[in-house]
Amino acid sequence: MIRKYETSTSTAAQANRVTTPVIATMMIGLLACSTGCHMVSSANHAIPAHRLDPSLFDCPREDLSPIPFAALGQQPPDEHVIGGDDTLSIYVYGVFPPDQDATPVQQRAQAINQRYYPPHGAVVGPSTGLPVRVHTDGTIDLPLIGRLNIAGLTIPQAVDKITEVYREEEVLKEGSERVTVGLLTPRVKRVVVLREDTPATNVSLVFPETNDEIHRGSGEVIDLPVYENDVLHALAATGGLPGTDAAREIYVIRREASMSPQAFNVKELNKACAQGCQSANPHVIRIPLAARACDPLTFTPADIVLNQGDVLFVPRRNEYFVTGGLLPGARIALPRDEDIDVIEAIAMSSGSPGGPLGLSGAVLANGNPGYIKEATRVMILRTLCDGRQLPIRVDLDRAMKDPKERIRILPDDVVMVYQKPSGSFLNVTMNWIGGQWIPNAFLVNAAD
């Protein structure tokens, strides 16, 4: 009996010695398999964020300040310079109009409800004489002297020239001439303003992760009088500066611009401007509305002048970053006037990648420990100017102490949060223990 008992005892011990390694092997295999993609990643091939020079990427948004908006308008001359399509009021006593002693007076007025800005010029008031339109070549027709060129002259200079010509033709006697010239309606430039920002005055507030893809632009045709035919007056007449849903830049498209689809590409124009502000199409001018204080303006006074048939285009802003991994998948709009770093981007995604409650309070719903160890690895996929992708690795533990680790998020970045191998192993282990599968297996073996 004793030998039989000893034999059975040794057999049980041998079984326990065999079963324990098998169970341990199964545990390690299950833990390794259950960690999935959280342990296997391309983190080793990514560049640590703190090793990247911030100057490799674009200028921080917070370093940009609005340009002096007066630079968007032109400086008018002290006196109006006569040009083609001006409408003048001219009076020559005894000649124009003939046989009329009474002085003709032209009444001018502006409509109260006007769509064009302004429809009849900026000056309102009576003017002496008859209306005479200046031809496109700068000439006018007057009785007895025929066609007279007055282009490039001011109003006083035009009076002197008309008086001199009538004296030379012996129509007027020296000392008895009475000539008056006034500006009845200045010449205007008709331009088109196309805006992709919100035209309505009502502002709707949405969550950061909500993208408003339904949008309606606006367009207006306006007549700008000479010396006010510039970007500043065109914006003021059509709603003011671009809103936060528009880019901090505008485009002037000349009438001579090519009509091919490649002639106007916002991304290509921005890339060309970043490389020296030389656009492939010289008739499309990019005017930034924000710049660094130390940088000079990238446009000339001639660029902001709008001519007949030009188009002023206000593009919509399309700047997003994408989240993934342990974060809820979303496409989130970036703020226009401020920078956000990787920690702020995670907060904007409205998801908790870790913490005692895990994802969406799984510990309370399922009774498991969830994510005891929070996720601290972030992978950022960034698209470079030449189309290549740059993987960047961020350690959130280090980012709490090292500002270099808190890399800025740029448009089109893909932000993915993962577990480190050690954290993933710990979380999975605690979840298995919380499920009471491993303790039960050990209890069964111990009872045997």
Which residues partner with 311 through β-bridges? 192, 253
Answer whether 90's CB lies under 8 Å from 184's CB. no
Q: What is the pLDDT of residue 60?
A: 86
DSSP three-state, residue 90: strand
Q: For residue 236, what are its two tokens?
A: 């003021």
User: Would you state the structure tokens that stand for residue 263, as one six-digit string?
Assistant: 């002639």
The residue among 293, 314, 335 that closes a domain is 314
The per-residue pLDDT for 289 is 93
327 and 443 inside one domain:
yes
CA separation for the pair 123, 146 (Å, rounded): 29
pLDDT value at residue 36:
40
Q: What is the chain's length?
A: 448
Q: Which domain holds residue 400?
A: 2-59+320-447
Residue 27 lies in a domain: yes
- 391 and 289 in a single domain? The answer is no
Cβ–Cβ under 8 Å, residues 249 and 197: no
CA 253/CA 278 separation, integer angstroms: 15
H/E element holding 106? strand 105-106
Q: Which of 185, 217, 246 is the last residue of a domain?
A: 185
pLDDT of residue 112: 38
Asked whether the CA dihedral 164, 166, 172, 178 is positive or negative, the reply is negative
Nearest-10 crossing angle of helices 437-447, 421-434: 60
C-alpha to C-alpha distance for 354 and 292, rounded to whole angstroms:
39
Residues 225, 155: one domain? no
What is the predicted pLDDT for the residue at 111? 42
Cα angle: 120, vertex 256, 315; to 5 degrees: 75
Residue 79 lies in a domain: no
pTM of the model: 0.72
Question: Are residues 167 and 249 located together in one domain of the fold?
Answer: no
Query: Is 122 inside a domain boundary?
Result: yes
Q: Is 398 part of any domain? A: yes
126 and 270 co-located in one domain = no
pLDDT at 425: 67
Structure tokens at 296: 């000079």
- Looking at residue 235, its pLDDT comes to 93
DSSP 104: P
Whether 211 is in a domain gets the answer yes
DSSP line for 120-153: T-S--S-EESEEEEPPTTSEEEETTTEEEE-TT-
Same domain, yes or no: 227 and 249: yes
Residues 195 and 235 both lie in one domain: yes
CA distance 48 to 43: 9
Q: How far apart are CA 143 and CA 151, in angstroms?
A: 18
Residue 80 lies in a domain: no
Work out how many domains the chain is built from and give that number: 3
Question: 193 and 181, same structural domain?
Answer: no
Nearest to 346 by CA among 401, 407, 405, 415: 415
Per-residue pLDDT of the chain (448 residues; tens, 9 = 90+): 444 444 444 444 454 444 555 455 555 554 444 444 444 455 678 888 888 887 777 788 888 889 999 999 999 999 999 999 999 999 998 888 876 666 666 666 544 334 455 544 455 567 788 889 999 999 999 998 889 999 999 999 999 999 999 988 888 887 778 899 998 888 989 999 999 886 555 656 655 545 555 566 788 888 888 999 999 999 998 888 998 888 899 999 998 766 555 555 666 655 555 444 445 577 889 899 998 877 888 899 999 999 999 999 999 888 899 998 888 888 888 988 899 999 999 988 865 544 444 454 444 445 455 556 678 889 999 988 778 889 999 999 898 889 889 999 999 999 998 887 776 666 667 666 665 454 444 444 554 5
Do 23 and 161 sit in the same domain of this protein? no
